[in-house]
Amino acid sequence: MNEPDHAEHGARIRLAAGVRAAVMPGRDDPSVTLLPGRLALRVPILAILLALTIGFTAGSIAIAIVDYHVPAGLAWPLGVLQAAPLIVAARFPLAAWRIAAIGLLLTVFVRHGTGFMPWPVTAILALIVILFFVGVGADRQTTVGVGTVTIGGVLLPAVLLGMPSWFGMILAGIVALALTFGDAVGGRHSAVEELRRREEQHREDLARQAVLEERARIARELHDVVAHHMSVIAMQAEAAPYKIPDLPDAAKQTFGVVRDAAREALTETRRVVGLLRSDDEGAERAPQPGLDRLDDLVSAARRSGLSVASVVVGMPRPLHAGVDLSAYRIVQESLSNASRYAPGARVHIEIKYGTEALRVSVIDDGPRSTPAESQGGGHGLVGMRERVTMLDGRLEAGPREGSGWSVVAELPYGDPD
């Protein structure tokens, strides 16, 4: 089979599949709601659809009885079949079209050879609206199948039984136009929904990436803290036999086990956390900062244009290394954000040593000048939340009433160093 024959064969297969999907109800039937989600918009549109359904149905019955002289016993069920499905077309377009098509085809056999067109104009109008919903809700293959069945299974019998062929061609064009317009609207709707879904997924991916990056950064910093303590343990265990005279052999052996375990733990920790270090971090082992360097942060913030005041409330106490480091990073990131988004602001830093937890608050009163356009950057709030969560603490961050920004963190002490 050459390429043109193969393409033609494939087109026939797709057409057959579309016709089958059109006439045979199944799980693939679209079940879509094209109505807006907001109640204020949904109710008026539903009211319009209800009014159209009532009007088209009543018109189809009345025209059939008055103008076409169809007995009322036939006009009522035929009118209902032709136009009433419009009420559910926005939710079940294929089901609505099947019912309407059956009503139109039955009318052809009831009125064959008795007039210019066998159907009331209101029934044709209802069909056009239903076909539009089919084009919006169904896939293109099914839409082509619906158009084929409508033209070949409804309009063609009407032409064969007395309707002028030229008028049948006009109706066929209207059918194709309604389906094409619906398909175009449905394609745009699908594209918008897909774009919205991808944007939402992208935002979620960025949020997950930010969390992972901050956790890796925290892990690297805590590794340096832990490495220091493990090194102290190893050195003390190594020196103990030399510091304590006449140490029993069992005690020496115990210190040897402690020393070896500390060294092994330190090696494994460095190996694992080393994977988290980026190339530009190298093997830096600078001591991790703490609140003893708060004055350095304040001086740097003042050089950047902020007016900073800091106060320590309560009696300072020894802090767990993780708490000390996290408090420093929270102040650092808060000042960095204030410098970036609130240039010239007055910033108040309070370090409060409470009974159960350390309270860190950084509050600014808003920018004095227009902030420079942000070029992106770190994930400050994400990092703060991860640090606070790691310590089972609490964080409140957000805009203040009026203007400015507030960051308040409570960090439980845990066991002091």
Residue 29: inside a domain: yes
b/e burial code for range 323-348 (CB count within 10 A of at least 16 → b): bbbbbbbbbbbbbbbbbbebbbbbbb
Contact between 325 and 288 under an 8 Å Cβ cutoff? The reply is yes
Q: What is the pLDDT of residues 139-168, one digit of tens each?
A: 888 888 899 999 999 999 999 888 888 999
Q: What is the pLDDT of residues 215-232, one digit of tens each?
A: 766 666 666 666 666 777
Q: Are residues 402 and 300 in the same domain?
A: yes
Domain boundary pick from 144, 163, 182: 163
Residue 26: inside a domain: yes
Q: Are residues 256 and 344 in the same domain?
A: no
Q: How confident is the model at residue 381 (pLDDT cuts 50, 70, 90)?
A: confident
> How many CB atoms are located within 10 Å of the residue 24 CB?
12
Q: Are residues 137 and 95 in the same domain?
A: yes
Residue 392, domain CATH: 3.30.565.10
Q: Are residues 122 and 29 in the same domain?
A: yes
Residue 87: inside a domain: yes
Q: Are residues 70 and 152 in the same domain?
A: yes
Taking the CA of residue 135 as centre, how many other CA atoms within 13 Å lie in the half-sphere pointing to its CB? 20
Q: State the chain's mean pLDDT as an integer.
A: 81
Segment 342-351 shows an average pLDDT of 90
Q: Are residues 149 and 13 in the same domain?
A: yes
Name the residue range of residue 230's domain: 214-278
Q: What is the pLDDT of residues 25-46, one digit of tens each?
A: 776 666 556 666 677 777 888 8
- From the number of C-beta atoms within 10 Å of its C-beta (0-12, 13-18, 19+), residue 2 rates as exposed
Tell me the percentage of the chain whose pLDDT exceeds 90: 25
Domain boundary pick from 128, 163, 198: 163
Contact between 64 and 73 under an 8 Å Cβ cutoff? The reply is no
Q: Are residues 142 and 30 in the same domain?
A: yes
Q: What is the pLDDT of residues 301-326, one digit of tens each?
A: 888 888 999 999 988 888 887 788 88
Q: Are residues 10 and 152 in the same domain?
A: yes
For residues 331 and 358, give the distance between their C-alpha atoms in angstroms, rounded to a whole number.
Answer: 13
Overall domain count for the chain: 3
Looking at residue 362, its pLDDT comes to 93
- From the number of C-beta atoms within 10 Å of its C-beta (0-12, 13-18, 19+), residue 265 rates as middle
CA distances from 95 to 24, 55, 133, 140, 347 (A): 10, 20, 11, 17, 65
Q: Are residues 261 and 311 in the same domain?
A: no
Residue 189 has pLDDT above 60, yes or no: yes
Residue 186: inside a domain: no
Q: What is the pLDDT of residues 252-288, one digit of tens each?
A: 788 777 777 777 776 766 666 655 555 444 444 455 6
Residue 197: inside a domain: no
Q: Are residues 301 and 239 in the same domain?
A: no
Residue 195: inside a domain: no
Residue 169: inside a domain: no
For residues 186 and 182, give the distance between their C-alpha atoms in angstroms, rounded to a whole number.
Answer: 6
Q: Are residues 255 and 299 in the same domain?
A: no
Q: Are residues 7 and 145 in the same domain?
A: yes
Domain boundary pick from 227, 251, 278: 278
> How many CB atoms are located within 10 Å of the residue 359 CB?
18
